[in-house]
Chains A and B, each alone.
Chain A
Amino acid sequence: MGGKNYVSDRLWIPVIATLLFATIAGVFNYYQKVFAAREANSICKQLKDRTYNHIQQLSNRYLDSQSTGDLVQRCTSDIETIRIFLSAHVVEIGKGLILIITVIPIMLLLDPWLTLVSIFLIPVIIFFGYFYFNRVKHVFKEVDEAEGALTTVVQENITGIRVVRAFGRHSYEIERFATPNLEYRDKGIKLIKLMSWFWAPSDFINLMQIGIALIVGSYMALNGYITIGTLFAFLSLLNIVLWPIRMLGRILTDLGKTIVALGRLYEILNQPLETADDSIIKSPCAPISGRIEIRNLSFSHNESAPTLRNVSFVVEPGETLAVMGPSGAGKSTLMHLLLRFYDPDSGTIRLDKYPIQDLNRKYVRAQFGVVLQEPFLYSRSIKENIRFGRQESEERDIEEAAHMASIHETIAKFSKGYETQIGERGITLSGGQKQRVALSRALLSNPPILLLDDALSAVDNETESNIIEALKSRHGTSTTIVIAHRLSTLAHADKILVLEEGAVTQSGPHSELIKQDGLYKRLWAIQNEVRAIS
C-alpha cells in the first residue's frame, strides 16, 4: 500500500503534464493554423495582384476572345480554391507525414509485433481512397453540369418571363422546369449514395484496425508481453497515425480541384503582355504637334475578311477629320489602330514624323483624348471620373470641361452634384449622359489629338450642336478625328473621309464632296427630302 500512497501523492504530476501538453499542443496548433493561413493569404494576394496587372496589359486580341465572366471567375473562385488548399491541406499533409514518420518508430520501439498488427490495414485504406476518388470524379462533374443546366433554365425563364406571361405559358414552364430540377436532385442523391459507400467502408476499415490492435494488444497484456500502460499509449499513438489517413479522401478531392484551378489561372498568366516590346523603345523628347499620316494601312481581325484595305490619309495639326460610312466599314478599327490596341498587318501610321510602332504604347495613348463608341465609366463619383482625364486638375477645370461637353447643368441638378456616384452603388446615367461625361474626361486631358468614335450618337440634336460649337471654340488647339453620321457634324469638319468595306472611297472637304457622286452626296440629299416633307 505504501507504493500506492507514493503514486497517489504524486498523481498531480500526470495531471499537470496532461494540462501542460494540451496547452503546448494548443499553442502550436494555433500557430500552425495562423501561419498556414497567413502564408496562403499572402500568396493569394500576390496572385491576385499579378493577374490584375497582367490582365490590364494583355493584348486586345486576346481579351476580345475571352468572356468577362469567365476571366473574373478564374481570378476569384479559382484563386479561392488554391487558397483553401494551401491553408488547410499543405500543412496538414506535412504534419501527417511527420506524424507517421515519428510515431511509427516510437510504436516500433514499444513493440514491433503489435505495431505490425496495428498498421497492416493502412495501405488498404490508402488504396481504397485513391481508387474510389478516381471513380467518383465524373459523378462530381455530372452534378456540376446538372446544376449548371438548372441555373440556365431558371435564367432563361426569368429573363423571358414577359414572353411566358404574354403567352400564358406558366404551366408549360413549370413542367419544363421540373425535368432539370429532378435531374439535379437525382444526380445529387446518386453522388451522396456514392459518398456514403466511401465513408462507411473507410470508417469500417479504420475501426477494424483499432479493434484488432485493441484485442491483440489486450491478449499480449493479459499474457504479460506488454504492460497496460504500453497498450494505452499504443492505442493513443495509433489514433494519431490514423487521423491523417482518414483525411486522405478529402485531400485528394481538393488536390484535384486545385490542380484544375491552377491550370486555368496560368492560362491567363502565360499569355504574353502587349507591352513586352515596349521597354526597348524610347519616347520622343519634344511634344508632338498632332499631325497624323497614314500610308497603305491594312488590317484584318481574322484571316478571312480584311477589315481595312490600303487606307491612306493625312490630318494636319489642328484640323478636324470626320470619318463616315456604313456600320462594319472599319471606322472603329481605324481608331483602335491609332491607339495601338492592335498593330496593322501592313502600312504605317505616323504621329508627326515617328512611326507609332516605334513608340511606347503608353506614350502613344497619352497623345489622345478618346471617347469610345460605348463609353466606359468607373463606379466612382462623376468628379473622379472626369478627373481621370488629368489627375492633377482643379475643380474649376473639371467644371469647365463639363460645360464644354454640355453636361454641367445636368450634373448640377443631381442632389449630390459632381459627387454623385455612378454605377451599381449609385445612379445609372443614360447613354447620352455617359457619352458627355466621357467627353468631359477626354477634353480635360487637353491632348494633342481628340478621337471621338460616334461619341455623340445618343445625344439629341440640339445638345450636339452646342457641343460642336464649344469644340469649335477651342479649334486649332487639338487635332480632332470624329466618327459621325449627323449631317450637321460632318459639314463642320475640315475634311471628310468616306469609308466603305474597309477602303477609302471618298475624301475631301464638304464643299468638294457634295459635288462628287457618291455616298456623301446621297446622304446630303436627305436634307432636301426633309425640307420637302416639312
Chain B
Amino acid sequence: MQTEEIDEIRSKIDLSLWKQIFGFALGHKRILTWLTVSALSISLTEALFPIPTKMAVDVIQGKATDYGLWLPSALFAVLTVSLCIGVYYFIKHAGSISYHVGHDIKRESFKRLQELEFAFYDSQPTGWLISRLTADCDRLSRIIAWGFLDIVWGTGFIIAMAIVMLILKWQLALIVLGTVPPLIVISLYFKKRLLESSREVRKENARITASYNECISGVKTTKTLGREDLNLREFEGMSQAMESASNRNATFGAVYMPIVMTIGSAGAGIVLWYGGKQTLASAIELGTLIAFINYAGSFFNPINQIASVFTEIQSAQAAGERVTGLLNTKPKIVDSETVVAKIEAHSKANSKDEKLAPDGHEMEIQSIEFQEASFFYKENEPILRSFNLKVEQGQTVALVGPSGGGKSTIVSILSRFYEPQNGEVLINGLDYRQRSLEWLQSQLGIVLQTPHLFSGTIRENIRYGNLAASDQDIEQAATIVNAHSFISNLENGYDTQIGEGGAKLSTGEKQLVSFARALIADPQVFIMDEATSSIDTEAEQLIQKGLQKVFDGRISFVIAHRLSTIRSADVILVIKGGEIEEQGDHESLMEKRGYYHKLYTTQFKRERVETVLNSSSN
C-alpha cells in the first residue's frame, strides 16, 4: 500500500521550483498557446454576456433607436457559440497539457532513477519512491495545467469585466470594483484555513487506515488475546476524531460561500440604490443598471478560483520539492573526463581488435585486487576497513560472517555500485576508476539473495541478461544451470507467464532462472549473494551442480550460506566488523576452531535437520 504524504503547508512559494516544473509545460508551446487563447477568449466572452440583455432592455424601453431586437439576439448567439468553442478547447487543451506534463515529468524522473547509484536506493524506501513517481507527478501536472488555466482565465475575466464596466459607467464600475479587495482578502484567508483543516482530516484518515491495516493483519493475534472489544473502542475514538475534524472542515467550507455571496449582494445592493437613483434621474439606462447588477455578482467566482490555485500551489510545494529534488540529484558514480575521452578516442579509432574494451584497455580480466579499500556512510562508523585481497582468473572466493559485517559492501564495491573512500580496486593492476563503468558492469553476472524476477515469461526473464540472446542461447543457458528440465515440464515451457515478482515459481526455481539470466551474459566475473531461505534438497542439488559450471574459468565472489558452496570455494574469508577475521580453505579454517568452526557446525546441524525433515515427506 502506498502511504499518503501529509505535507507541511509552506507559506512561501518557491518561484524557482515552480519555474522548473512549468518548464515542462513550455515544452508544449503550441498547446499552451492555444490554451491561453481559449482561456482569454472565454474571459472576454463571459465579460460581454450581460451586454445583450442590456441591449434588449434598451430596445424594449425604446432607448435604443438605431437597432432592433435582432442585434442583441445576434450578439447573444455569437457569444454563445464563441463561449462553447472556448469551453471545448480549454478543457481539451488544459487536459492535454496536464497529461503531457505528467508524462514528461514521469519520464525524466524515471530516467534519473535508473541512473542513480545504489547508495541512493539504500536510503529511500521503495513505497516512498513509487509515490514520488505516481502521486506527486500527477498532482504537479494537474496544478500546472489547471492552475495556469484558472489564473489566465480569472485575471482575464476580472480585467475584461472592469474594462466593460468602466466604459459603460465608470461611477458604477468603481462601486462594483470596490468589492474586489475584500473578496480577495476573505478568499485567501478561508482557503488557507480550509487547507489547514483538511490537513487535519487527512491526518486522522491516515491513522484510521493504519488502524484498519493493523486490524486485518493482526486479526489472529487479536482473537487469541480476546482484544476485539478493546480494539473497537479505541477505533471508535479515532473514527470520532475523524468525524469531528471533518465537521470542522465542513463548517469552514460552508461559511465561505455565504460570506462572498453577501459581499457580492452588498455590491449589487449599492449599485441598485445609486444606479436606481441615476436611472430614475434618467442619467443611465435601466439596461445598464441590470448589467451592473449582473456584474456585481460575477466577481467572486474568478477570485475564488485564483485563491484556490495559490493555496493549492502552497500545499503542493513539498511535492514539488521532492520531485525537483529527485530530478536535480546528479549521479555520483560516473566515468571521469579522461575515461570519457578515451572511450571517444577508441570509438573514433574504429579498432576491430576484440581484445580491447571500449575504453581502449584490455578486455580480459586476469585479476582483481582490493588495496587498502575502506568504506563508510558516516566518518566514524566504518563499514569496511583497509580491505586487501587479490583474486586471479578462475578463483572462487566465499565470504562468510555475521550480517552487517561488511560482506555485501565488498561485492557492491567490486561492482562499483559504491566506490571506496580510501584505497582502490585494481583490475589487471589498474584502478577501476580509470576504466569504463558501463564496460565493467557489463562484465559482471550478479545473482542477488532474493532472486527478483520481472513479470513476463521465463524466456524474457533469462533474456534480460543478454538482450541479443537467441532462443537457442536461452535454452542452452538454462540447461547449463539445470533449469531446463523444470521449465520444459511447465505447461507453456519457456513462455510460461511467471506473475508479478515471479510469484508462480518456487524459491528454488526462481534461483535457477536467475542463474541462467546471469550466465547468458557470459560474464567474466560472477557475483552471488546466496539465498538463506531453505529450498528442498532436490532443488539444492540441482543448484549446486549448476553453480559449479558457472564458477568454471571465472572470477567468482559468493556471499555464501550453504555448506556445499562454502566448501567448494578456493578461498574462504570470514568477514566481521568490516575486517577479515579468518582466511583460508575449509580444512585449515576448521582446524583453527575459531569463528568459522562454530559457524560451520551450526549450519551443518541446521542443514541436516532440514534434510531429515524433508526426506520424510518425500
A, B assembled together: yes
Q: Please, which residues of chain B bring their CB within 8 A of the CB of A5?
A: 280
Q: Cα distance A368–B223 when bound, in Å?
A: 11
* Chain A neighbourhood of B313, CB < 8 A: none
Contact A215/B250 with A49-B232, A56-B222 known, Cβ cut-off 8 Å = no
A72-B69 contact in complex given A29-B254, A41-B243, C-beta closer than 8 Å: no
Would B52 and A30 count as touching, CB distance under 8 A?
Answer: no
Which single residue of chain B is at the shortest CB-CB distance from A31? Answer: B254
Cβ–Cβ < 8 Å partners of B208 in chain A: 48, 76
- B69 touching A218 by the CB < 8 A rule? yes
List, in ascending order, chain A residues with CB within 8 A of B210's CB: 379, 424
Chain A, residue nearest B77 (CB): A211
Tell me, yes or no, whether A195 is within 8 Å of chain B by CB. yes
Contact digits for A158-172, partner B, Cβ 8 Å, 1 yes 0 no: 111111111111111
Contacts of A178 in B (CB 8 A): 107
Cβ < 8 Å to B, chain A residues 132-174: 150-152, 154-174
B60 within 8 A of A: yes
List, in ascending order, chain B residues with CB within 8 A of A218's CB: 56-57, 59-60, 69, 72
> Do the beta carbons of B262 and A45 come within 8 Å of each other?
no
Tell me if B167 counts as interface (CB < 8 A to partner A). no
The reply to whether A182 and B103 form a contact with Cβ atoms under 8 Å apart is: yes
Stretch of B212-220, B303-311, B539-547, B549-557 with 4 or more beta carbons under 8 angstroms from chain A: B212-220
Is B390 an interface residue when CB atoms closer than 8 A count as contact? no
Chain A window 51-76, contacts with chain B (Cβ cutoff 8 Å), 1 for yes, 0 for no: 01101111010010000110110011
Q: How far is the CA of A14 from the CA of B276 in the complex (A)?
A: 10
Interface positions of B from 169 to 223, Cβ below 8 Å from A: 205, 208-223
Q: Mark A111-125, 1 if CB is under 8 A from B, else 0.
A: 000000000000000
Q: Are the CB atoms of A523 and B609 closer together than 8 Å? A: yes
Assess the B605–A530 pair: CB atoms within 8 A: yes
Contacts known (A18-B272, A152-B500, A372-B220); A166 close to B448, Cβ less than 8 A: yes
Quick check: A72 and B1 within 8 Å, CB to CB?
Answer: yes
Q: B24 interface residue, CB < 8 Å from A? A: no
Write out, one digit per residue, whether chain A residues 20-32 have a CB within 8 A of any chain B CB (1) or not (0).
0111011101110
Question: Is B246 a contact partner of A376 (Cβ separation < 8 A)?
Answer: no
- A67-103 CB mask vs B (1 if < 8 Å, else 0) is 0110110011000100100010000000000000000
Contact B269 A19 (CB under 8 A): yes
B446 at the binding interface (Cβ < 8 Å): yes
- In the bound complex, residues from chain B placing their C-beta under 8 Å from that of A170 are 114-115
> Are B617 and A326 in contact (CB-based, < 8 A)?
yes
Tell me how far the C-beta of A510 lies from the nearest C-beta in chain B, rounded to whole angstroms.
16
Task: Assess the B223–A200 pair: CB atoms within 8 A.
Answer: no
CB distance from B2 to the nearest CB of A (A): 9
Complex interface: stretch among B94-102, B475-483, B486-494, B572-580: B94-102
Q: Are B56 and A214 in contact (CB-based, < 8 A)?
A: yes
CB interface residues, B 81-111, toward A, < 8 Å: 81, 83-85, 87-89, 91-92, 94-96, 98-100, 102-103, 106-107, 110-111
User: Among the listed stretches B126-134, B148-156, B322-330, B375-383, which one makes contact with chain A, having 4 or more residues with CB under 8 Å of it?
Assistant: B126-134
B501 close to A (CB within 8 Å): yes
User: Judging by beta carbons under 8 Å apart, are B130 and A158 in contact?
Assistant: yes
Q: Which residues of A contact B336 (CB under 8 A)?
A: none
- Judged by a CB distance under 8 angstroms, whether A327 is at the interface is yes
How many residues does chain A have at the interface if contact means C-beta atoms less than 8 Å apart? 141
Any chain B CB within 8 A of the CB of A337?
A: no
What is the minimal beta-carbon distance from B257 to any residue of chain A, in angstroms?
Answer: 6
Query: Closest chain A residue to B444 by CB distance?
Result: A166
A485 touches B113 (CB 8 A): no
What chain A residues lie within 8 Å of B444 (beta carbons)? 166
What separation, in Å, do the CA atoms of A389 and B440 have in the docked complex?
Answer: 56
> Given known contacts A63-B216, A196-B87, is B605 in contact with A184 (CB within 8 Å)?
no
Contacts of B243 in A (CB 8 A): 41-42, 44-45
Report whether A174 and B111 are in contact in the complex, using a CB–CB cutoff of 8 Å. Answer: yes
Task: Decide yes or no whether B568 CB sits under 8 A from chain A.
Answer: no
Count residues of B near A (Cβ-Cβ below 8 Å).
135
**Does B92 contact A196, Cβ atoms closer than 8 Å?**
yes
The one of B113, B242, B277, B521 in contact with A161, judged by C-beta atoms closer than 8 angstroms, is B113
Instruction: Determine how close the nearest CB of chain B comes to the CB of A382; give it in whole angstroms.
Output: 15
CB-CB < 8 A to A207: which residues of B?
80, 83-84
Q: Is residue A189 contacting chain B, with contact meaning CB distance below 8 A?
A: yes
B604→A203 contact, CB < 8 A: no
How near does chain B come to A259, taking the closest CB pair, in angstroms?
A: 22
The docked-state distance in angstroms from the alpha carbon of A19 to that of B293 is 13
Are A188 and B219 also in contact (CB < 8 A) when A14-B272, A326-B613, A378-B214 are?
no
Contact B266 A45 (CB under 8 A): no
Tell me if B251 counts as interface (CB < 8 A to partner A).
yes
Contacts of A341 in B (CB 8 A): 220, 223
Chosen A-B contacts, 27 in total, with CB atoms closer than 8 Å, are A8-B276, A18-B265, A18-B269, A37-B246, A38-B250, A48-B239, A56-B232, A76-B208, A151-B134, A157-B113, A158-B129, A161-B113, A162-B452, A168-B438, A181-B106, A184-B102, A184-B103, A200-B84, A201-B84, A204-B84, A218-B72, A232-B290, A326-B613, A366-B226, A372-B224, A441-B225, A519-B613
Identify the 7 closest CB pairs spanning chains A and B, nearest first. A192-B95, A26-B258, A37-B250, A22-B265, A170-B114, A33-B254, A200-B88
B residues with a Cβ closer than 8 A to A are: 1, 52-53, 56-57, 59-61, 69, 72-73, 76-77, 80-81, 83-85, 87-89, 91-92, 94-96, 98-100, 102-103, 106-107, 110-111, 113-115, 118, 121, 126, 129-130, 133-134, 205, 208-228, 230-232, 235-236, 239-240, 242-243, 246-247, 250-251, 253-255, 257-259, 261-262, 264-266, 268-270, 272-273, 276-277, 280-281, 286, 290, 415, 417, 438, 441-442, 444, 446, 448, 452-455, 464-465, 467, 500-501, 517, 521, 590, 597, 600-602, 604-605, 608-609, 612-614, 616-617
A154-B133, A375-B221 given; 13 more Cβ-contact pairs under 8 Å: A18-B272, A52-B239, A56-B228, A158-B133, A170-B114, A177-B106, A188-B95, A196-B92, A196-B95, A326-B617, A366-B226, A529-B608, A533-B604
